Amino acid sequence: MKFDRRLVLVMLAPGAALAAWLALGGVLFRMTLDPAQRAGVDAAIGPLVASHGVLPVAWWLIAAALAAWAAGRLYAAHVAAPARLADATRVLIGDVAAPDLVPHGGAAARNLAVAINGLAGARRALQDDMARLVAAASRGVAEQRDQLGALMAELNQSVVVCNLDGRILLYNERARQLFRRLSRAPQGAGGAELIGLGRSIYGVFDRALIAHALETVERRIARGDDAATASARFVTGMPAGHLLRVSMAPVRPAASDGSAPTGFVLLLDDITGEYEVQSRRDRQLLELTEASRASFANMQAALDVLDYPDLEAEERDRFQKVVREEVSAMSARLAALAAGMSQDLMTRWPLQEMLGGDLVAAVATRIEADTGQRVTPDEVDGTLWLSVDSFALIQALAFLASRLEPFDRADLRIRLTQAGNRAHLDLIWAAEDARPETLTGWQTGAMQVGDVLSPLSVRDVAERHGGEVWFEHDRARSLSFFRFLLPLATGEPAAAVTHKDSRPEYYDFDLFAASEGSRALDERLLGDIAYTVFDTETTGLHPAHGDEIIQIGATRIVNGKVLRGECFDQLVDPQRSIPEASIPIHGIRPAMVRGKPTIAEVMPAFRTFASDTVLVGHNVAFDMRFLKLKEVVSGVRFDQPVLDTLLLSSVVHPNEASHDLEAIAARLGVTISGRHTAVGDALATAEVFLKLLPLLREQGILTLGQAREAAQKSYYSRLRY
């Protein structure tokens, strides 16, 4: 058995002290004797020493050592081993998936560990049976919930559902993308979205605005409107200058008994572009009105003068010229206004995001079906995402291909390449002598493919995309092609935005039952609180001596669940060198952080992510010290409560020698992946924290205030950075 050396030293200390006391006492006693007495004592002790071979003091020392060794064995077998066995048993009680107990200590303790493992195995089998029964009973509900979640994810309109406390319990990817655009976070500050499960919608909208909308709905219901269709609308501005149109409808229980709403649904539209177009049109109309008023006044004055019968011919010509000029100016203004409105209509046509490879494949299939001619992809960048009206664009390309019958279509090809922030889509064919005037004329007439006639022209389709179409001839290779200039999508579509191959969590209907109430945060139950679990990677261990943060990673815990799809993961430019000795630990090299946002830019984004939550970390005093030193430069202060899994582990397992993250995870059956990356450590810490909560409850630690008080009494809370 492995002993704690400190315990052995503690047990040896009394024996050593006794031996030293006896030896010192003997020497002092001998010094107090006169020579005659000393000689008598020596004469009495001499035969004793001669007969035994060692001094009695040595016997005392050996006896004390043997007693200490025996006491150490007894302590390890009958005190330390049962205490550790009790800690491990509490873990098994709280988590059926925790590892089995390792038998150690005396025979009785080992037998007890084996018996407990047997009970745990039987409990696992029973829970597995119960889990199968529960799964079978709830499968239908789960399928309906998953179908709703999938449906919400595919909607093109932004949807957010909240409970009455304003906590977000459902949203779709469209809403996530919308608020990501509206966020003021620096480019690349991942996870800095304004919304997330369990977060408050009042971080986005004014609480009074939501309350007023709910009151409006209730008034409409009270006056007789249908509760199922009653809604309210409002428009609100966002800090970044965007305008949102919001439609609100209450969420009510299934029973139609006039019950109070349990939450509300928000349908969101970014109308900033529409507002700008409308404002520009209103401004043009106002300018047209003011200019026309002056033109009408000039023409009226000129016409009044022209009515004079004795007007000189020269004067008559001059006033007629005024009328012609004013009429011409008014015509030009009307033409400009009409052209601007036409362009607005073209560019505001709804476009959808489409992968370039899919578009090329669809075009090739359509042309082959209409003309019988096979189309060969030529230099196609299939990774480009385009923003297109795919139906009209495919129709335009099929129309052009059908008109190429006089030419050699045997080598018909299609090409897609990126050109800056646009894309070139080319329809290519072999042509020795192509007449540009004929081919250009195809662009302006109505399109007809087979029996299908479209009111649009090829040029209309290009303008609908805010782009152009033109004809080019490559004489060197005897090739001609039509080229469409198309817009690139602003980003990949919702389905491609995932975190580490996992689907983000978009809904948690259990939050309908959540209610903050009016209790102080310290009085709230640990299981009812939302947490932000975070970790930092740094250039070194000494924040007060110039070391800097180079990465912040975080995840959130809401309703007892780790939201792996809502993570904050941001590299930080430390604006200093990264020591070579630290690179093997975190794997972050200088080139990886060069040009990334600084800590002054990242901290406000992280503060938004962590708002209205309790911070959690492992040995979190270290990380908080780094954040504290950056309060002035960033203008951000983290003043919410903080919990440390290291301290909480020492509370629930006081007999364990190690409380580092790996040791705690091993005890609690948590698998760590991505160690020493900020997000990897944050996710592992989150899992460890959830495993610690039932162990804290067993010790009567139920609220946040109790957990903070218990952690402050730990020996490890004395560490300072």
Q: In the structure encoding, which two tokens stand for residue 710, read together?
A: 């218990």
Examine the pLDDT at 349 and tell me if it is beyond 80. Answer: no
Global pTM exceeds 0.75: no
Band the pLDDT of 56: cuts 50, 70, 90: low
The C-alpha atoms of residue 419 and residue 414 are separated, in whole angstroms, by 16
Residue 348 pLDDT exceeds 60:
no
Report the range of poorest mean pLDDT among 242-246, 269-273, 642-646, 713-717: 713-717
Phi, psi of 324 (to 5 degrees): -60, -40
Mean pLDDT of all residues in 173-187: 74
pLDDT in tens, 469-512: 888 877 777 788 888 999 888 654 443 333 444 445 656 666 66
Q: For the chain, give the percent of residues with pLDDT over 90.
A: 16
pLDDT of residue 495: 39
**CA torsion angle for 716, 717, 718, 720 (degrees, to 10)?**
100
DSSP-derived 3-state class of residue 617: strand
Residue 24 has pLDDT above 70, yes or no: no
**pLDDT grade, residue 122 (50/70/90)?**
confident
| 559-588: burial string, b at 16+ Cβ within 10 Å, e else | beebbbbbbbbbbbbbeeebeeebeeebeb
Contact 563, 646 (CB under 8 A): no
Average pLDDT over residues 627-638: 91
Determine the Cα–Cα distance for residues 176 and 191; give it in Å rounded to an integer.
10
- Report, as an integer, the average pLDDT of 639-645: 91
- Under the banding of pLDDT at 50, 70 and 90, the label for residue 535 is very high
pLDDT of residue 366: 86
**pLDDT-based confidence at 627, cuts 50/70/90?**
very high
Calculate the average pLDDT of the chain.
77
pLDDT grade, residue 294 (50/70/90)? Answer: confident
Calculate mean pLDDT across residues 293-305: 77
| pLDDT over 70, % of the chain | 71
Backbone angles phi, psi at 546, to 5 degrees: 105, -5
For residue 91, give both structure tokens.
């873990």
pLDDT of residue 603: 92
Distance CA 714, CA 569 (A): 31
HSE-up of 229 (CA within 13 Å, CB side)?
3
Q: What is the pLDDT of residues 316-344, one digit of tens each?
A: 888 888 888 888 887 777 777 666 665 55
The confidence score (pLDDT) of residue 541 equals 86
pLDDT band with cut points at 50, 70 and 90 for residue 89: confident
Q: How far apart are CA 580 and CA 270, in angstroms?
A: 47
φ, ψ of residue 115 in degrees (nearest 5)? -65, -40
Helix (H, G, I), strand (E, B) or coil at 350: coil
Q: Classify burial at 387, counting beta carbons within 10 Å of its beta carbon; exposed 0-12, middle 13-18, buried 19 or more.
A: middle
Residue 676 designated active-site: yes
Q: Would the pLDDT of 34 be above 50?
A: yes
pLDDT of residue 553: 93
Residue 283 phi, psi (nearest 5): -65, -40
Distance CA 251, CA 272 (A): 28
Identify whether the C-beta of residue 306 lies closer than 8 Å to the C-beta of residue 292.
Answer: no
Q: How confident is the model at residue 266 (pLDDT cuts 50, 70, 90)?
A: very high
Residue range 568-621, pLDDT digits in tens: 999 999 999 999 988 888 889 999 999 899 999 999 989 988 988 999 999 998
**Higher model confidence: residue 341 or residue 692?**
692
pLDDT digits (tens, 9 = 90+) for 140-154: 666 666 666 666 666
Q: Residues 207-214: what's their mean pLDDT?
A: 86
Element (H, E) at 536: strand 531-538
Which residue, 556, 522, 566, 524, is CA-closest to 165? Answer: 524
Mean pLDDT to the nearest integer, 14-40: 64
